[in-house]
Structure 1
Amino acid sequence: MTHILILTHTDYCTPGHLGKVLDEAQHDFSVLRVDLGELDGFDLDRPKAVAIMGGPMSVNDTLPWLDTEIAALRHFIRRDIPMIGHCLGGQLLAKALGAEISRMSYTESGWQSVHQATESAPSPWLAHLPAQFPIFQWHGDTFALPVGAQRLLSNSWCENQAFAWGDKILAVQGHPEMNEELVRLWLNDWSHLLDDSQPSQQSKAQMLEELPGKVAALNQVAEGFYRHWLQLAFA
């Protein structure tokens, strides 16, 4: 039986490096396209761990399937199972926990540096990370911190880059799941949405510069998150 559930919302935001990590660890997993109704009728008591990926839509859009997904996330929260949210997925977790999601006045995109929040106690989610490191970004919305959440990461463009809630939930505003294929796909199909005259955005050339090395470093960031997530699920 598959005990890991991955929720996706578009062809463009796949599990990416998370899928590779799970395959190498020989963990079976199910991927559902929530926007296509694939979550409807799914046994929400089945998963032991859930990952929520990104998407171009806003949590605040009027889409019936968003309500279905938020209700499912609240069920998982009540079950106290490990969850990790990526960009839109992090915003969905924040919404499920009662926090507001708001539009920023600019888009943050590219390889942006984030730092561990100095006001927060050490977190096992960040034990593998230095005080400051880059992560791939592409978002125009941001989440507020839910009541009881611990801010983990921040930067000058987005104060709330990641939070932990309880022992088993991590929400990340960036995209730790990116691999080379996904970066090139996004830049081939979505680069017209970029405006590198804005200081919060990088150009396509900047994003692709030394890409293998950047992705390899990001994979290390992601693998620490995923190791802890899996340890919580299968300890």
Structure 2
Amino acid sequence: MADVLILTHIDYCPPAHLAQVLLARGCSFDVLRVDLGELRGYDLERPRAVAVMGGPMSVNDPLPWIADEVAALQRLIAREVPIIGHCLGGQLLAKALGASIRRMPYTEAGWQDMQRHAQVTDSPWLAHLPEQFSIFQWHGDTFALPEGAQALFSSRWCDNQAFAWGDKVLALQGHPEMTEPLIECWLDDWAHLLDERQPSQQSLAEMREQLPEKVRALNQVAEGFYAHWLQLAGL
């Protein structure tokens, strides 16, 4: 059993750049498909760090494994394990902490500029971030802030893009883990779900414009989050 546990929910939302970071650092990690029942029986007392990835489902869907994952996250939070959530993963963390998740009247998709909350001046999760940065988005749900959470940044279309809870939990609404091949895969396979007439969605051309440069910048944003997360775990 590895030091890092990664929870996934569908084949096209893998750990992607996060896995590359862990491999480069020599960190051992287990990747489980929660939707296939692979979390069942896993020893939750073992992981030193946990990452929760995305998925197309809603936290509010009547899927039996969602309740199991929320309960597992609550146990890991009680153990004070460093946890980072990506999109659906961030929403699952919000639910585990007692917050609601709601459907937005639109889908936020593409490269969206983030605005750091003015009152946040000393969060270690933000220490590496430049004043201007963007994160790749693809979501129609959004989380409310759990009691005691610190809002970190927002976008034009989504007020709650990230929150920290305590000193070991980071929930993100976007997808900092994306790689260039994974973005191309999503745009090739799922473009029919988008409607670029919506102002909250970029066109496919805009998403692909200067893609290598945008992904490199996104990787740097992600690596700062992951470095602090792993530092908290002593890894």
- Which range, TM-score by smaller chain? over 0.9
Which residue identity does 1:213 align to in structure 2? Answer: E
1:94 aligns with 2:129: no
Give the Cα–Cα distance (whole angstroms) in 2 for the partners of residues 122 and 201 of structure 1.
32
Q: Which residue of 2 aligns with 1:27?
A: 27
Q: Which residue of 2 aligns with 1:193?
A: 193
Could you report, residue by residue, the CA deviation over 1:42-78 in whole angstroms, capped at 9, with x for unpaired residues? 0010100000000000000000000000000000010
The alpha carbon displacement at 1:28 in A equals 0.7
Which residue identity does 1:19 align to in structure 2? Answer: A
Percent identity between the aligned chains?
Answer: 69
Task: Report the secondary structure of 1:176's partner residue.
Answer: coil
The alpha carbon displacement at 1:155 in A equals 1.6
Q: Which residue of 2 aligns with 1:18?
A: 18
Which residue identity does 2:223 align to in structure 1? Answer: E
The alpha carbon displacement at 1:131 in A equals 2.5
Q: Which residue of 2 aligns with 1:36?
A: 36
- After superposition, where does 1:113-192 map in structure 2 within 5 Å? 113-192=113-192
Cα RMSD, aligned residues only: 0.8
Q: Which residue of 1 aligns with 2:207?
A: 207
Which residue identity does 1:216 align to in structure 2? Answer: R
Which residue identity does 1:31 align to in structure 2? Answer: V
Number of matched pairs: 235
Which residue identity does 1:84 align to in structure 2? Answer: I
Show structure 2 runs of 5+ residues with no match: none
Task: Report the secondary structure of 2:105's partner residue.
Answer: strand
Could you report, residue by residue, the CA deviation over 1:74-100 in whole angstroms, capped at 9, with x for unpaired residues? 000100010000000000000000000
TM superposition score normalised by structure 2 = 0.99
Could you report, residue by residue, the CA deviation over 1:105-151 in whole angstroms, capped at 9, with x for unpaired residues? 00000000011111224200000002231110000000000000000
Give the Cα–Cα distance (whole angstroms) in 1 for the partners of residues 209 and 203 of structure 2.
10
1:104 aligns with 2:107: no
Task: Report the secondary structure of 2:43's partner residue.
Answer: coil
Task: Report the secondary structure of 1:234's partner residue.
Answer: coil
List, as ranges, runs of 4+ consecutive aligned residues in structure 1 with deviation greater than 4 Å.
Answer: none
Q: Which residue of 2 aligns with 1:8?
A: 8
Show structure 1 runs of 5+ residues with no match: none
Which residue identity does 1:195 align to in structure 2? Answer: D
Give the Cα–Cα distance (whole angstroms) in 1 for the partners of residues 104 and 2 of structure 2.
38
Give the Cα–Cα distance (whole angstroms) in 1 for the partners of residues 130 and 153 of structure 2.
11
Which residue identity does 1:113 align to in structure 2? Answer: D
Could you report, residue by residue, the CA deviation over 1:7-56 in whole angstroms, capped at 9, with x for unpaired residues? 00000100010000000000010000000000001001010000000000
Q: Which residue of 2 aligns with 1:56?
A: 56
Task: Report the secondary structure of 1:213's partner residue.
Answer: helix
Q: Which residue of 1 aligns with 2:83?
A: 83
Give the Cα–Cα distance (whole angstroms) in 2 for the partners of residues 178 and 219 of structure 1.
8
Give the Cα–Cα distance (whole angstroms) in 2 for the partners of residues 119 and 197 of structure 1.
34
The alpha carbon displacement at 1:209 in A equals 1.0
